[in-house]
Amino acid sequence: MVPAYLIIHHTGAEEKDAAQVRRYHLSLGWRDVGYHFLIERDGNTVAGRSPALPGAHCRTDGMNGRSLGVALIGNLEEHPPLPDQLTALLALLTGLCRCYAIPPERVLGHREVRGAKTACPGRYLDMNAVRHLLGEGLT
């Protein structure tokens, strides 16, 4: 799969780490964790399912088949991401945008996907600020 979009999520729960999210998704019978990357509280970035595989993170608008899913661990509807998480998110997105030639305007919060009915990735993640910083880093 060649992704045209990057979709940002929060896990919406306060998991301890990426391994806990993976165990949960496997318990649902999925072949692997639904996201392609997870960012833990300390900023550690963990690979999820292979970017070669479609995701299981955003069925809306066919995004599972044309985007990579990146999840921040935590409930960002309740609290902001930790500074190390934001730093790691920007570093990861910068690398992925370069690798796949994805412009910042195609980096969307889950709720910004056309037709999505979700608060994900939470009101404390400012996607406009993320895209702005990303654009600055890419120029």
The stretch near Zn ion (CB under 5 A) out of 24-32, 79-87, 97-105, 110-118 is 110-118
The stretch near Zn ion (CB under 5 A) out of 7-15, 28-36, 90-98, 122-130 is 7-15
Backbone angles phi, psi at 45, to 5 degrees: -100, 125
Interface size with Zn ion, residues (CB under 5 A): 3
62 secondary structure, DSSP code: G
User: Residue 133 Cβ, how far from Zn ion at the closest point, in Å?
Assistant: 20
Distance (Å, rounded) from C-alpha 8 to C-alpha 3?
Answer: 13
Distance (Å, rounded) from C-alpha 129 to C-alpha 72?
Answer: 16
Judged by CB under 5 A, which of 38, 39, 70, 120 binds Zn ion?
A: 120
Interface with Zn ion, residue 110, by CB under 5 A: yes
Element (H, E) at 67: strand 67-72
Per-residue mark of binding to Zn ion, 16-55 (x: CB under 5 A)? ----------------------------------------
Backbone angles phi, psi at 75, to 5 degrees: -105, 95
